[in-house]
Amino acid sequence: MISKTLTLLRKELIDASRDKRSVLAGLYYAIGTPLIMCGLFMVLINQLSSPDDLPIKITNADTAPDLVRYLGQKGINNDTGEQAEKIQLIISDDYAKQMAQGKSAEVIIVADNSEEQLQKSIRRLQLALQNYSMEMGSLRLLARGIDPRVLRPLQVELHDQATQDSKGGMIMGIAIFTMLYSVFISGMNLAIDTSAGERERNSLGLLLSHPVTTGQLVLSKLLAVTAFAMLGLVLILAISHFAYPMVPWPELGFSITITPSFMATVLVIGLPVAMLAASLQLFVSFMAKTFKEAQSYLTMVMFIPLALAMSASYNIAPDVLKWLPVSGQQGALMEVIKGKALPLQELLISSGATLAITLLLALALTRMLRSEKVVFGL
Amino acid sequence: MINVSNISKKIGKVQALDDLSFSAEDGMITGLLGPNGAGKTTCLRTIFGLLKPDSGNAEIDGIDVAKHPVAAKAKLGLFPDPFGLYERLTPREYIQYFAKLSGMNSSDAKQATAAVLSKLRMDDIADRRCKGFSQGQRMKTALAQAIVHQPTNIILDEPTRGLDVMSTRVLRDLLLDLKHQGHCVLFSSHVMQEVAALCDRVIVMANGKVAAIGSPQELCQRTGQDSLEEAFIQLIGTDEGIAA
């Protein structure tokens, strides 16, 4: 019994490893995705973060030397050039006079607030100006013999409990999703080739004419596709391990580090998902009559895990997703990468559900292959 | 020995097999002769348990295919139509794979594969991938697959289609060889010459039924014709779908 399954499995793996289409599909995704993600994050970070030295154009700078000096200490410098033109600070002509008289002096920020790249820089300038204003106000009160605290009845302090890593949930969600989804991509071509392809090449009938049970056949195909799926996962983890450190995470206030222990966790948690992916893809492909038909069915079916995993990375996701296949694993891995404890109960249930669906699909496949309609595509 | 009793099978709306009964003995070549669409392939697939008959049953060496499919299939070798080659495997890998699936252990399968490869004079192509093989090379690979595990019963579906003279000879010699070794050889064909030259017994099929059974000579005598071709046409009542 077992030796025949092994013979079948060995042949599936040899055959698949010689199939360029099957191998490359997994490779492209596993190698390409982390690199594209890293590239995207780098661009994103550059866009969102304000540069250390923020050049702005200050009009009438000589009327407010103290303010300009203060801004300079905060890294905001009076400059010329294209970059500086984007944010302008106009100091009113009567600034010095108003300040000297203890009145409000007008400063105007001119910038395009809809430009995302500028938003952080604008906020930084506003904050600097507010702080300067408060300092000046306090000095004025002191000069009049009043405790500046009179004007601050509330002292608001925020103790941010978010660990560094728990902040970028969305970005982490995407990063983990790309890893988990690799089990769906990497084995897909093999799943089609070994089912719809096998029938299209007329070898399925021949195979079933030999003294093997459909159970052995399904098991070997399932294992072969799972092996490919896991190979894709190993590959994408390895590439991510080297690619993610290149992203300047501290700018975002959190970081994604793919440690060996995290990699091991992903592999263990990903295994049931890989088996589910394999059985689902084989099931759908055997329903289709041709290779092409299988491909188009699968692209549709693959939206389900995509939707599940993606919605799990949003905070608005309903709680039930924690217990479901794919989204449960996605959620658990996100907790882990945020440095929190593994939600064991949820993970066990969602993994159990994953394996149960896999088993059901495998049993259905075993039955299907006994049907002459499926075998000959009647 | 293959025994088919009272098999009926409907595919879609077509009555592909209609109360079909015959047997193929060991040490004999039995030909399943019929025009295109007579139900030959359906019949062979039913013997392999790939199609389930609506009624009746098929037995291989006394084992009911429907009840014990694995045991029955272990006694069969199939040369299918179409061949069903794995283009990315070499003939050696392909033949060895099916030898193991038929129940041989690794070392036996290896030996048997080497033996059958040299028997069919395939050593020059044994380690080339099947992709791009000629029809003759494909035929040999499929044939080697069918006989590598020395099954008692060998079933061939339209074995001579698309073969040149040399390949046909290889096939013919091999079938005679198998017969002399005491195997039961059952093949389907719509080529008269083949059947007349090789078969000890001919089962003439038309519309899913047995039209006549006998040796080529008997069929000629029974119909009073000189050639099997004329006898055949008289037996099935039409010359549609026949190759001379």
Asked if B109 and B143 sit in the same domain, the reply is yes
**Cross-chain Cβ contact B84/A202 below 8 Å:** yes
Residue ranges of chain A with per-residue pLDDT less than 50 = none
**Residue B31 lies in domain:** 2-75+152-236
Query: Is residue B197 in a domain?
Result: yes
Alpha-carbon torsion (B228, B233, B235, B241), positive or negative: positive
Query: Is residue B62 in a domain?
Result: yes
Asked if B190 and B144 sit in the same domain, the reply is no
Asked if B141 and B216 sit in the same domain, the reply is no
Question: b/e for A221-234, b at 16 or more Cβ within 10 A?
Answer: bbbbbbbbbbbbbb
Interface test with A, best of B50, B81, B107, B141 (most A CBs within 10 A): B50
d(CA A179, CA A177): 5
Mean pLDDT within B187-216: 88
pLDDT of A164: 52
Asked if B191 and B204 sit in the same domain, the reply is yes
Asked if B39 and B158 sit in the same domain, the reply is yes
Q: Does B71 touch chain A (CB under 8 A)?
A: yes
Asked if B67 and B175 sit in the same domain, the reply is yes
Asked if B143 and B231 sit in the same domain, the reply is no
Residue A74, amino acid: K
Which of B126, B150, B174 corresponds to the end of one domain?
B150
- Find chain A residues with C-beta within 8 A of B86's C-beta: 11, 15, 201, 203
Summarize pLDDT for B18-62 with one digit per residue, the tens: 999 999 999 999 999 988 888 898 999 999 888 889 999 999 999
Looking at per-residue confidence, does B158 or A82 come out higher?
Answer: B158
**Cross-chain Cβ contact B51/A18 below 8 Å:** no
d(CA B117, CA B126): 7
CATH of the domain at B17: 3.40.50.300
Which of A18, A204, A208 minimises the CB distance to B88?
A: A18
- Find chain B residues with C-beta within 8 A of A378's C-beta: 11-12
pLDDT of B238: 63
DSSP calls for chain B: -EEEEEEEEEETTEEEEEEEEEEE-TTEEEEEE--TTSSHHHHHHHHTTSS--SEEEEEETTEETTT-HHHHHTTEEEE-SS----TTS-HHHHHHHHHHHTT--HHHHHHHHHHHHHHTT-TTTTTS-STT--HHHHHHHHHHHHHTT--SEEEEESTTTT--HHHHHHHHHHHHHHHHTT-EEEEEESBHHHHHHH-SEEEEEETTEEEEEE-HHHHHHHHT-SSHHHHHHHHHS--TT-B-
Least confident of A250-259, B35-44, B170-179, B221-230: A250-259
Asked if B137 and B167 sit in the same domain, the reply is no
Asked if B102 and B45 sit in the same domain, the reply is no
pLDDT of A316: 63
Asked if B230 and B156 sit in the same domain, the reply is yes
Q: Does B89 touch chain A (CB under 8 A)?
A: yes
Query: Is residue B83 in a domain?
Result: no
Query: Is residue B81 in a domain?
Result: no
Cα distances (angstroms) measured from residue A342 to each of A112, A175, A181, A328? 44, 18, 20, 11
Asked if B156 and B126 sit in the same domain, the reply is no
Looking at per-residue confidence, does A85 or B157 come out higher?
Answer: B157
d(CA B151, CA A151): 101
- Find chain B residues with C-beta within 8 A of A19's C-beta: 88
Measured CB to CB, residues of chain A less than 8 Å from chain B are: 3-4, 7-8, 11, 14-15, 18-19, 201-213, 372, 375-376, 378
- Find chain B residues with C-beta within 8 A of A206's C-beta: 78, 80, 83-84, 145
pLDDT of A161: 61
| Residue A143 burial (CB count, 10 A) | 9
Q: Which of B176, B98, B105, B161 is closest to A3 using CA atoms?
A: B105
- Find chain B residues with C-beta within 8 A of A204's C-beta: 84
DSSP calls for B39-86: SHHHHHHHHTTSS--SEEEEEETTEETTT-HHHHHTTEEEE-SS----
**Cross-chain Cβ contact B50/A3 below 8 Å:** no
pLDDT of A49: 66
Query: Is residue B199 in a domain?
Result: yes
d(CA A326, CA A181): 9
Q: How does strand B153-157 pair with strand B184-189?
A: parallel
Strands (E) located in A93-179: 107-110
Interface test with B, best of A13, A14, A20, A206 (most B CBs within 10 A): A206
Which of B12, B52, B82 minimises the CB distance to A202?
A: B82
Q: Does B224 touch chain A (CB under 8 A)?
A: no
d(CA B156, CA B80): 6
Q: Does B11 touch chain A (CB under 8 A)?
A: yes
Query: Is residue B177 in a domain?
Result: yes
Query: Is residue B222 in a domain?
Result: yes
- Tell me how close the Cα of B80 comes to any Cα of chain A, in angstroms: 7
Looking at per-residue confidence, does B94 or A45 come out higher?
Answer: B94
ipTM here: 0.89
Asked if B166 and B208 sit in the same domain, the reply is yes
Task: For B75, name the nearest residue in chain A, comparing CA atoms only.
Answer: A211
Q: How many domains does chain B have?
A: 2
Give residue limits of the domains in chain A.
2-46+164-376, 50-151
Which of B133, B150, B167 corresponds to the end of one domain?
B150
